[in-house]
């Protein structure tokens, strides 16, 4: 009999929480022929998950430190992506690493890259003051409240469906009880 051996660590827990967002996309979007972009793909773990379901998945990120993930091709030049090219875009845990003007610019870019019927999945940590970890204090430039994220999405999309995430569970939790906000945006505004 095969046994599941688990070495618990905080890093492993973080991985499960992050992977849950990609699995949420897979459970929500049923058409395997959708063109998907993992925007802000980091090390590419989410891209690998998306590729198990969708036939066409591209990855985009910027690596000022010269990092390059193994076994996936990452587009690092935004001009190589075409307006209206994608049916689905994931943007998980990216927006909080930017200042306000850069957040607005990225959201405009995401909306432009989606086709008219496209769907954006976006997530960020729930803003807490003070930030609960040293990492958040050092690497998060501008965290957003639920209301701020809703507003930045609603300016670009007619429909913003809001979810909260606690550990691996994404559901319609009360916003103050969740650790991450996970939104689905559709109905791109002209």
Mean pLDDT for the chain overall: 93
Question: For 40-61, what is each residue's pLDDT tens digit?
Answer: 999 999 999 999 999 999 999 9
> Is the entire prediction scored with pTM above 0.75?
yes
**Domains along the chain with CATH numbers:** 12-188 (3.40.50.150)
Q: Quick: pLDDT tens for 10-34.
A: 677 788 999 999 999 999 999 999 9
Helix (H, G, I), strand (E, B) or coil at 58: strand
Residue 88 and residue 189: Cα distance in Å, rounded?
16
Contact 2, 28 (CB under 8 A): no
β pairing state of 114-125 and 86-92 = parallel
In the predicted structure, residue 9 carries a pLDDT above the cut 80 = no
User: What angle is formed at CA 116 by the lines to CA 112 and CA 122, rounded to 5 degrees?
Assistant: 60
Q: Among residues 65, 61, 68, 37, which one has the least CA distance to residue 51?
A: 37
For residue 131, what pLDDT is reported?
80
């Amino acid at each position: 009999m095969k046994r599941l051996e688990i070495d618990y660590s905080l890093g492993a827990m973080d991985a499960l929480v992050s992977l849950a967002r990609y699995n949420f996309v897979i459970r929500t979007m049923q058409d395997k022929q959708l063109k998907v972009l993992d925007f802000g793909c980091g090390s590419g773990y989410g891209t690998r998950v998306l590729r198990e379901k969708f036939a066409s998945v591209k990855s985009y990120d910027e690596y000022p430190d010269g990092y390059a993930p193994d076994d996936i091709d990452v587009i690092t030049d935004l001009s190589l992506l075409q307006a209206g090219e994608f049916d689905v875009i994931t943007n998980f845990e990216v927006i909080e690493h930017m200042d306000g003007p850069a957040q607005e610019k990225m959201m405009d870019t995401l909306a432009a890259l989606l086709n008219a019927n496209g769907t954006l999945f976006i997530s960020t940590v729930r803003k807490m003051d003070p930030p609960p970890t040293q990492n958040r204090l050092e690497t998060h430039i501008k965290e957003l409240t639920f209301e701020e994220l809703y507003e930045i999405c609603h300016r670009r999309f007619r429909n913003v469906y809001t979810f909260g995430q606690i550990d691996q569970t994404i559901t319609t939790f009360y916003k103050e009880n969740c650790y991450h906000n996970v939104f689905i945006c559709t109905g791109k505004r002209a």
